[in-house]
Amino acid sequence: MQHQQVFVVDDDPIVANLIELRLKKMGYGVSGVSHNGTDALEKIRGCHTDVVIMDINLPGSLDGIQTAGKIAASHDIPVVYLTGDQNPTTFERAKSGSECQYLVKPFKDSDLHIAIQLAISRHDIFKEVSRQNRFCQSILSSVSDGIIATDTEGFVSFMNPAAQVLTGVQSISGRKTHVRELVSIISNGNGQAMENPVDLVTRTADIAGFPQDAVLINHNREKIHVDGWAGPLYDEKGNPKGILLYISPKPRKNLLKFTGKVLY
């Protein structure tokens, strides 16, 4: 604990000094003290800090919640909010920001200690989950087969670069796009349309493979011989979360001329 540095922000110098004394008594280091948001941002930039104790009701152009948001964005430091205000609106504002703890004045030393440790622990977990998500995204982005994920209604939530090439759609950001707009599968033999694989999975709750002579008609009306399947996605509780669509061009060498770039 002696290596954990805490920065204190409170508009009342007496309260800030009392918090500093209590922190040192518990074995924490105090990297700095500020009485307003602007000063806090300036001082934190020049010191090592593991967690910030932030009074919500700060004077000036930045209140505690706004200051905490800027600290999280610029320095990636967890925050413990302090307030004597139990207004639900204030709590909702604090909760909607980055991961943080919320402590109501007056508080015991043990409450402060627990809040600090929880804030640091949750922040570390959040960083690890984010790292793993970035790693998974980089793997999916470097795969040469098309991967599309949708929500339970069939609206696209993820496309890797290969899927963008296959579907002829480079970006879906800023609009809700249903997979039917991107993927249409027909039989090369008779030209008959296959039921959209995502619709088929939604109806049967089972994996659906493409016909052996499947042809993808993409957004640009291009015809591409493909193999693939669609299957349901579930959350950790076994509830339906969406659909995963896997599309592999045939033959591979004739379609994709793209090099995946791993950003992990």
Residues 214-249: pLDDT tens digits? 888 888 888 889 988 989 998 888 888 889 999 998
Residues of the chain with pLDDT under 70: 1-2, 85-100, 173-174, 252-264
Indicate the domain borders of the chain. Answer: 5-137, 143-252
What CATH code would you report for 5-137? 3.40.50.2300
**Superfamily name and number for 143-252:** PAS domain (3.30.450.20)
pLDDT, tens digit, 9 for 90 and up, residues 74-93: 888 999 998 876 666 666 66
The per-residue pLDDT for 165 is 87
The per-residue pLDDT for 86 is 65
Yes or no: say if 115 and 53 are a contact pair by the CB < 8 Å rule: no
Q: What is the pTM of this model?
A: 0.62
